[in-house]
Amino acid sequence: MKSESLRIVYFTDPVCSTCWLTEPYLHRLKSIWGNAIDIEVRMGGLLPSFTESQKEGSILQDMEQFVALLEELEQSSGMHLDGNSWKTNPVSSSYPPSIAYHAIKKISPEKAGPFLHTLRTMLFTENKDISRQDWLEEAAVRHQVDRDLFREKLSDGSAESAFIDDLSCKQHFGVTRFPTFIFQSTDGTEIREDQSFNSRKGDDILKHWNALVSELTGREIPSVGIAETGLQLFDQFENLTTVEFAIMNGISEEMAFQQLTDAANEGTLSQEIHRGISIWRRHSGMEVIKKSRFNDKSIAIAGMGVAGLAIANGFEKAGIPYSIFDRHFNEHQSGFGFLILENGLRALAALGLKTQFLKVANPLHYYSAISPDGTILNSTKLESCYAISRTEMVRILSSGLKSDSIFKNKGLQMFTETSDGVQLQFSTGETAESSFLFGCDGFHSAIRKAIMPEAILERTGGRELVCITQLPEDDFNLIEFTKVIDHDKRCNTGVVPLRNRMVIWFMQLNESVEGMVTKNAADHYQLACKICDGYPEPIRKLIQEYSKNAPIYLWQSNRMNLMPSFHKGRTVLLGDSAHPLLAFTSQGANSALEDAVVLARIFSEAGNDVRHEELFELFYKERKEAIASYIAQGDMLLKSFLSLGTQGADRVPLAIH
């Protein structure tokens, strides 16, 4: 008697690379057979301990060979298998992510599979140690799972008990290889498959499984999938490669790429290319930068900060010719970092850079305001907040630009508008002509001063010391943004953890604080040491001990009202050049990214016959409301700081529009 339904017990593990390559076929099998098969996922405990796994006889003993094997599989499969994390930041154990899988399954069973997919994306694409709880929480948040509920399920023992049951089941079946599939029919027939991917390639796996299910159920193989998927897959999965989409939909890679490209052109999806492999995700809801007809004009971009590099990426994506210049562009820019918020993340996705960003950024899940004695004044959950060093951000934004369009150590000295363009004169003595000039030369923009001399920066009465340093040990919760609110010393001291034990700390000071008049770096260190004396031990050590030889920068806090326009003639301003925002808002880099994406989209939609004034006026119209909001929120945060009153002093120091 044939079985009407079939159960497939699937033994897998979050760090199993072969499972990662096999699962698109398993997903397709389920879409073909629907309710005729039931897939029971079991975690197999592949990696109890990374340290123990490096003993003799393990594949992880020869790390170079293991990484080379993963890279070979990546090339042949079209799916990411970046093994570098195993050399630099290995997963200590696969038990924590296995338990996390069960925690998600208990909260929302339909999210368990996509959550497991995200864990593998974080491991094999983003090089994350998915045994760490902060990364597990990050994966849960990406699937709209409440962080506190996730923590509760991780700690109440139910998820761990489910994992222990998996290990018992694995022992019962004698499973030693991953993946292993046990096909069980209701009449007691049981077939074991643990070499499918090794002995068969590509669609042969699916053909074999289909024949097996047909034999055990006595049913014909359905000619089309019962549950057709298409772009609905992106309602479940955070991202997919072209190969995954093709397999899950039962179509060729060529057809899949065309469907995905069409969806990207329509604004439904966005495409990123990472390690030569296309990654597709639901569009961020911000802007769609299309291939442009606006391609017979030349654009000069002055400044290789966030705004300049971002707009260059936008033009690269749109196919619009550009040249980007900077007077030095060297490691002087490495002393700072950024907080990237939801709007900045959406802009990076629109530029096709989100995956690269997530690979190196540190997610901050909480903001804590504390008093000098460590008393918690405010603890707030943060959503979509990441810390990244300027060095890493510049590297990401530079990675996709054409080398022959980049001109370092070539500063713009003068520019003159002509009837059909802008004449440029550089510090090297060279001259050039361009159709338009994009001013991205920063907070104290010389281009802004030249075209809008009436736009004046106003001193605010606040200054800021900023330092980046490396910790010799893990003294901080790596997901927490902490700020000491010190009313007596008229100072706020913030700590922002980056990756690899790098930390940015800053002190926001009232100008009246003694010692602020000097420009001597040694005096700044002494002042910082004096202020933090008596603060909680990790913060005191960070400044007094770990920052002795680190560079400390002094910033003057300035503000500026919203200008009536961001352009004059053929010259337009972006980022800090257009709207220098207070550091309190954490919107400088985010708004620069937004500016770039909006302006690149406007240009990508324009034809060669459109007047440039119309494009620049549309840019201002689309951006002025958000910028006005950031300015207003910055003024509110500044007022709260300068007054140093108890009301509002501990508020989250981020501006959101």
- Do 122 and 259 sit in the same domain of this protein? no
How does DSSP classify residue 404? Answer: G
Overall number of domains in the chain: 2
Task: Determine, yes or no, domain membership for 289.
Answer: no
- The reported pLDDT for the residue numbered 619 is 97
Pairing status of strand 362-363 against strand 299-302: unpaired
- Do 160 and 210 sit in the same domain of this protein? yes
- Do 108 and 246 sit in the same domain of this protein? no
Q: Provide the pLDDT confidence category of residue 452 given band limits of 50, 70 and 90.
A: very high
- The reported pLDDT for the residue numbered 414 is 93
Task: Determine, yes or no, domain membership for 85.
Answer: yes
The span from the CA of 190 to the CA of 185, in Å, is 7
Of the chain, the end-to-end C-alpha distance in Å amounts to 64
- Do 234 and 171 sit in the same domain of this protein? no
Q: Provide the pLDDT confidence category of residue 108 given band limits of 50, 70 and 90.
A: very high
Sequence-ordered list of residues with C-beta below 8 angstroms from that of 573, at least 6 positions apart, any chain: 438, 439, 440, 445, 447, 448, 451, 566, 567
15-26: pLDDT as tens digits:
999 999 999 999
Which residue, 182, 217, 252, sits at the end of a domain?
217
- Do 126 and 265 sit in the same domain of this protein? no
Bridge partner list, 191: 183
- The reported pLDDT for the residue numbered 292 is 73
- Do 119 and 28 sit in the same domain of this protein? yes
The span from the CA of 17 to the CA of 12, in Å, is 10
Q: What share of the chain is helix, strand, coil (3-state, %, to 5)?
A: 45, 20, 35
CB atoms within 10 A of CB 552: 22
Higher pLDDT, 114 or 499: 114
Check which CATH number belongs to the domain holding 115 and give it: 3.40.30.10
Instruction: Identify whether the C-beta of residue 352 lies closer than 8 Å to the C-beta of residue 400.
Output: yes
- The reported pLDDT for the residue numbered 471 is 87
How does DSSP classify residue 92? Answer: S
Give just the sign of the alpha carbon dihedral 76, 81, 82, 85: negative
Residue 236 has pLDDT above 60, yes or no: yes
Task: Determine, yes or no, domain membership for 181.
Answer: yes
Which residue, 175, 190, 217, sits at the end of a domain?
217
Task: Determine, yes or no, domain membership for 106.
Answer: yes
Task: Determine, yes or no, domain membership for 282.
Answer: no
Task: Determine, yes or no, domain membership for 455.
Answer: no
Pairing status of strand 240-241 against strand 431-434: unpaired
- Do 121 and 264 sit in the same domain of this protein? no
Please report, rounded to a whole number, the percentage of residues in the chain having pLDDT higher than 70. 90
352-372: pLDDT as tens digits:
999 999 999 999 988 999 999
The span from the CA of 321 to the CA of 333, in Å, is 26
Give just the sign of the alpha carbon dihedral 208, 213, 216, 220: negative
Q: pTM for this structure?
A: 0.87
Residue 331 has pLDDT above 60, yes or no: no
Mean pLDDT of the chain: 89
Q: What mean pLDDT do residues 53-75 have? A: 79
Q: What mean pLDDT do residues 484-489 have? A: 90
Strand order in the sheet with 567-568: 406-407, 322-325, 299-302, 436-439, 571-573, 567-568
Q: Is 569 left (phi over 0), alpha (psi -120 to 50) or beta?
A: left
Q: Which residue has the tokens 């300015």?
A: 631
- The reported pLDDT for the residue numbered 605 is 86
Strand order in the sheet with 431-434: 412-417, 422-426, 431-434
- Reading the block at residue 13, the tokens are 């593990």
Instruction: Identify whether the C-beta of residue 302 lies closer than 8 Å to the C-beta of residue 447.
Output: yes
Task: Determine, yes or no, domain membership for 391.
Answer: no
- The reported pLDDT for the residue numbered 227 is 46
Residue 474 has pLDDT above 80, yes or no: no
The span from the CA of 633 to the CA of 631, in Å, is 6
Q: Provide the pLDDT confidence category of residue 84 given band limits of 50, 70 and 90.
A: confident
- Do 244 and 213 sit in the same domain of this protein? no
Higher pLDDT, 610 or 409: 409
570-599: pLDDT as tens digits:
999 999 999 999 988 889 999 999 999 999
What's the full length of the chain, in residues?
657
Q: Report H helices in 506-646.
A: 521-532, 537-544, 588-605, 612-643
129-179: pLDDT as tens digits:
999 998 999 999 999 999 999 999 999 999 999 999 999 999 999 999 999
Q: Residue 14: which of 38, 39, 40, 45 has the closest Cα? A: 45
Instruction: Identify whether the C-beta of residue 372 lies closer than 8 Å to the C-beta of residue 484.
Output: yes
Bridge partner list, 509: 463, 491
Q: How far is CA 85 from the centre of its chain?
A: 17
- Do 57 and 106 sit in the same domain of this protein? yes
- Do 124 and 236 sit in the same domain of this protein? no
Write phi, then psi, for 42 (nearest 5 degrees).
Answer: -125, 135
- Do 189 and 242 sit in the same domain of this protein? no
Task: Determine, yes or no, domain membership for 132.
Answer: yes
- Do 60 and 36 sit in the same domain of this protein? yes
Q: Residue 103: which of 53, 59, 143 has the closest Cα? A: 143
Q: Is 517 exposed, middle or buried (0-12, 13-18, 19+ CB in 10 A)?
A: exposed
Q: What is the DSSP string of 208-275?
A: HHHHHHHHHHT-PPPSS-SS--GGGHHHH-S-EEHHHHHHHHT--HHHHHHHHHHHHHTTSEEEEEET
Q: Provide the pLDDT confidence category of residue 260 given band limits of 50, 70 and 90.
A: very high
Q: Provide the pLDDT confidence category of residue 110 given band limits of 50, 70 and 90.
A: very high
268-303: pLDDT as tens digits:
888 999 899 999 998 766 677 877 776 678 899 999
Residue 490 has pLDDT above 90, yes or no: no
Residue 226 has pLDDT above 60, yes or no: no
Q: Residue 285: which of 607, 578, 601 has the closest Cα? A: 601
The span from the CA of 623 to the CA of 639, in Å, is 25
Strand order in the sheet with 386-389: 337-340, 386-389, 362-363
Q: Residue 477: which of 361, 371, 337, 362 has the closest Cα? A: 362
- Which domain, by its residues, includes 263? 230-269
- The reported pLDDT for the residue numbered 621 is 97
- The reported pLDDT for the residue numbered 62 is 78
- The reported pLDDT for the residue numbered 654 is 64
Lowest mean pLDDT among 64-78, 132-146, 172-186, 214-228: 214-228
- Highest mean pLDDT (candidates 17-26, 282-291, 512-521, 641-650): 17-26
Which run of H or E residues covers position 573? strand 571-573
- The reported pLDDT for the residue numbered 334 is 43
